Structure 1
Amino acid sequence: MGETRGRVPHVLLLALIQGVLSSSTVEVLPSENPACAGNMVTLTLSPATQLQSGSWAVGGTQILTWSGGQQAVFPSHNGRASVNVSTGTLTLTSITVADSGVFVVQSTSPQLTATSTLTVLEPVSALRLVANNTGNLVEFKSSVSLFCSSSGSSLSYRWLNGNSEVTASDGIQLGDGNSTLTIVNVTRYNDGPFRCNAFNAVSNGTTEPLHLNISYGPDGVSFTVNRLNTTTSFLIGSTLTMSCSAQSNPQAEFQWAFNGKHLNGTSPDLKLYSAVESQSGLYSCLAFNNRTMSNSNVTRQITISSGSVSVQLGVSVWLVLLLSSLAGVLF
Structure 2
Amino acid sequence: MPAYSVETTNVVEVVLASSALQVVPSGNPSSVGVTLTLALSPPTTVTGGSWSVGDNVIVNWQAGQQGVFPAYTGRASVDMNTATLTLTSVTVADSGDYIMLGTAPSQLRANANITVLEKFKGFKFHIKAHCSEKGRLQYMREMREAPVSNVVITHNTTDYVEFDTAVLTCSVSSGSSLSYLWLNGSSDVTASEGVQLGDGGSTLTMVNVTRYDQGPFRCNASNDIGDGISQPVNLTISYGPNSMVFTVNGQQNFTTFSVGSNLTMSCSAQSQPPAEFQWAFSEQAVNGTGPELALYSASEAQSGSYSCVAFNNKTNTNSTITKYITIGGSEQQAVNLWLLPFLSLFGAIFSMSGRHQTVITGRYPAETGTKETKQRAGHSDLKVQIVYST
Distance, in Å, in 2 between the alignment partners of 1:184 and 1:30 is 46
Aligned 1:152-301 pairs, distance under 5 A: 152-301=175-324
Q: 2:139 corresponds to which letter in structure 1?
A: T
Aligned in 2, Cα 1:204/1:323: closer, same or farther, shift over 3 Å?
A: closer
Q: 2:374 corresponds to which letter in structure 1?
A: S
Distance, in Å, in 2 between the alignment partners of 1:170 and 1:323 is 65
Shift of 1:30: 4.5
In the alignment, is the contact (CA less than 8 A) between 1:103 and 1:117 conserved in 2?
no
In the alignment, is the contact (CA less than 8 A) between 1:37 and 1:122 conserved in 2?
no
Shift of 1:94: 5.6
Partner of 1:78: none
Distance, in Å, in 2 between the alignment partners of 1:310 and 1:216 is 41
Aligned in 2, Cα 1:172/1:95: closer, same or farther, shift over 3 Å?
A: closer
Q: 2:333 corresponds to which letter in structure 1?
A: V
Distance, in Å, in 2 between the alignment partners of 1:311 and 1:100 is 100
Q: 2:248 corresponds to which letter in structure 1?
A: V
Partner residue of 1:96 out of 109, 120, 138: 120
Partner residue of 2:158 out of 134, 151, 157: 134
Aligned in 2, Cα 1:221/1:195: closer, same or farther, shift over 3 Å?
A: same
- Answering whether residue 316 of structure 2 is matched by residue 316 of structure 1, we say no
In the alignment, is the contact (CA less than 8 A) between 1:101 and 1:117 conserved in 2?
no
Aligned in 2, Cα 1:238/1:99: closer, same or farther, shift over 3 Å?
A: farther
The sequence identity of aligned pairs, in percent, is 49
Shift of 1:158: 1.4
Q: 1:144 corresponds to which letter in structure 2?
A: A
Aligned in 2, Cα 1:28/1:215: closer, same or farther, shift over 3 Å?
A: same
In the alignment, is the contact (CA less than 8 A) between 2:150 and 2:230 conserved in 1?
no
In the alignment, is the contact (CA less than 8 A) between 2:279 and 2:309 conserved in 1?
yes
Q: 2:302 corresponds to which letter in structure 1?
A: Q
Shift of 1:299: 0.7
- Answering whether residue 170 of structure 2 is matched by residue 148 of structure 1, we say yes
Distance, in Å, in 1 between the alignment partners of 2:382 and 2:236 is 72
Partner residue of 1:122 out of 135, 142, 146: 146
Q: Which of the two has higher C-alpha Rg?
A: 1
Q: 1:297 corresponds to which letter in structure 2?
A: T
Q: Give the gaps of 5 or more residues in structure 2.
A: 10-28, 33-116, 341-371, 384-390
Aligned length: 236
Distance, in Å, in 2 between the alignment partners of 1:139 and 1:32 is 47
Distance, in Å, in 1 between the alignment partners of 2:30 and 2:236 is 40
Q: How big is each residue's C-alpha offset from its partner over 1:10-29, in whole Å with a ceiling of 9 and x where there is no partner? A: xxxxxxxxxxxxxxxxx976
In the alignment, is the contact (CA less than 8 A) between 1:144 and 1:183 conserved in 2?
yes
Distance, in Å, in 2 between the alignment partners of 1:133 and 1:185 is 15
Aligned residue for 2:373, secondary structure, equals: helix
Distance, in Å, in 1 between the alignment partners of 2:382 and 2:278 is 54
Q: 1:145 corresponds to which letter in structure 2?
A: V
Aligned in 2, Cα 1:323/1:252: closer, same or farther, shift over 3 Å?
A: closer
Aligned in 2, Cα 1:101/1:299: closer, same or farther, shift over 3 Å?
A: farther
Shift of 1:128: 1.0
Shift of 1:215: 2.2
Distance, in Å, in 2 between the alignment partners of 1:122 and 1:210 is 26
Distance, in Å, in 2 between the alignment partners of 1:311 and 1:154 is 80
Q: Give the gaps of 5 or more residues in structure 1.
A: 1-26, 40-92, 107-113, 325-331
Shift of 1:100: 8.8
Distance, in Å, in 2 between the alignment partners of 1:117 and 1:236 is 92
Shift of 1:232: 1.7
Aligned residue for 2:122, secondary structure, equals: helix
Shift of 1:170: 2.5
Superposed CA RMSD: 3.6
Distance, in Å, in 2 between the alignment partners of 1:127 and 1:323 is 81
Q: Which has the higher helix share?
A: 1
Aligned in 2, Cα 1:273/1:284: closer, same or farther, shift over 3 Å?
A: same
Aligned residue for 1:177, secondary structure, equals: helix
Q: How big is each residue's C-alpha offset from its partner over 1:74-117, in whole Å with a ceiling of 9 and x where there is no partner? A: xxxxxxxxxxxxxxxxxxx96837359775599xxxxxxx9993
Shift of 1:283: 1.0
Shift of 1:227: 2.4
Aligned residue for 2:269, secondary structure, equals: strand
Aligned residue for 1:125, secondary structure, equals: coil
